[in-house]
Amino acid sequence: MSFDAFPFWVFLLAAWGGCLLVRHNAARKALLIAASYFLYATFRPANVFLLLAITAGSYAIGQAIQKGRRPGLLAAGVCAAVGGLAAAKQWLTPLPVGISFYMLQAIAWMVDSYRGNVVAPSGLFDYTLYLSFFPKLTAGPIARAEEFLPQLARRPPVDSAALWEALTRIVVGLFKKLAIADNLGVVVDPVFADLHASPSRILLATYGFAVQIYCDFSGYTDIALGTARLFGYRLPENFNWPYLARNPADFWRRWHISLSTWLRDYVYFSLPGLRAKSKIPSYVNLSITMVVCGLWHGFGWTFALWGLYHGLLLVAYHARRRGEAGSILLMQQLAVIGWILFRLNRISDLPVYLASLTRGPFFAGFTPEEWLAVALMAAVGLIHVLIHVAEPYVPVMKNVVEHRWNPWLLTGLLALAMATAILSLPQKQAFLYFRF
């Protein structure tokens, strides 16, 4: 029952209506827990027991640590969580949906319990909702306990402003997914399945994937944040126009923000040598952190090399940094090069990919689907140009959402976006980050 499936919206309306009718906060939270576990069971019922085990185990360890700083118990808990996640990625097929995301939240809870950063929940009840809350359960964003648990203390109000924000985020997210990402996937997937194509098709698939993964994942995040707002809760932002980044550090401040900040706080800052006078230990730690980022996405040389590639970009940037200025266009090309490694099915496909870029006639014609992909990519590029020009003067999205410029016009635009998404719907494709 994915966000882009009709049964999900029936489920969402039922859950939302039930929460509106339930007045008591504890009963409302119980309803949300039941709804979250029901939704998770629709993917694979057995995974419910895995989520229950991780919830109970990590909560018990966190509670024990809060009662007294016990580094041995923390180390055992983190090792068990990391080992369990690694085993799942290596041997479980299909991978339990969402495990990579809620496992990181469980690790953060245990570490923050040791550091004294977490606000203790009222009990296992609140913690269970924190890990299982369905808008973020399957693909994030990765919420921190200190951000989410305080929101559960009282029944949150849902006013017209919250509903407008929710509607806007959901519709924009659906448009990104259905109208852009899925149409690009129709072109991208066949090329990467068989790399013996003309150079023009290889390049179209390469740049198409860069736009596809952004619209797919940021579209999911928009829907998740909008759905959470329907119930009165806020989840952390996960994207901030990453293809307008000027350098590698800026890119990771804008792309998958909840993961990059998690890696910074729980991997990078946990590695030794950061206080050394030499910068070399920090560069090594940067590389290690980004390799961990790659392996979090999947065990394989393509992901490990993708992570190492971004680690080396960050090292080069910090080693030669002269202020924060940089080239947006150059950073876009560097990001696209990284996506090649990320998208290849196996590392042995890289020589085939490179050979196809230099073999045969450059342009052998495009299909109608490929021309549509070109148009969609051009539209996304134009939007980025407009945002880049306008954003220094007007924080566009923030004002649209919070101040509701001309609501009737915006409502019409949202309806048009949804109609376009539905009419252009290609073969249904799962959200890309369900794989990780």
DSSP state at residue 94: S
- 8 A C-beta contact, residue 184 and residue 373: yes
**DSSP class per residue in 137-154:** HTT-----HHHHGGGGSS
List of residues 6+ apart from 111 with CB closer than 8 A: 74, 78, 266
The 10 Å CB-count burial string (b at 16+, else e) for 161-187 is: ebebbbbbbbbbbbbbbbbbbbbbbbb
Residue 360: other Cβ atoms inside 10 A: 12
**Active-site hit among 24, 256, 297, 384:** 297
**CA distance linking residue 199 with residue 195, whole number of Å:** 10
Residue 251: other Cβ atoms inside 10 A: 24
Question: How long, in residues, is the chain?
Answer: 436
Which amino acid, 46? A
The sign of the CA dihedral 129, 130, 135, 137 is: negative
For tokens 């949300």, the residue is 32
- 8 A C-beta contact, residue 194 and residue 237: no
**CA distance linking residue 328 with residue 247, whole number of Å:** 7
Determine whether 297 is an active site residue: yes
The 10 Å CB-count burial string (b at 16+, else e) for 200-213 is: bbbbbbbbbbbbbb
CA dihedral 230, 231, 234, 239 (to 10 degrees): -40
**CA distance linking residue 256 with residue 218, whole number of Å:** 8
**CA distance linking residue 318 with residue 119, whole number of Å:** 35
**CA distance linking residue 149 with residue 136, whole number of Å:** 14
Residue 359: other Cβ atoms inside 10 A: 14
The sign of the CA dihedral 34, 40, 46, 49 is: negative
The catalytic site residues sit at 297
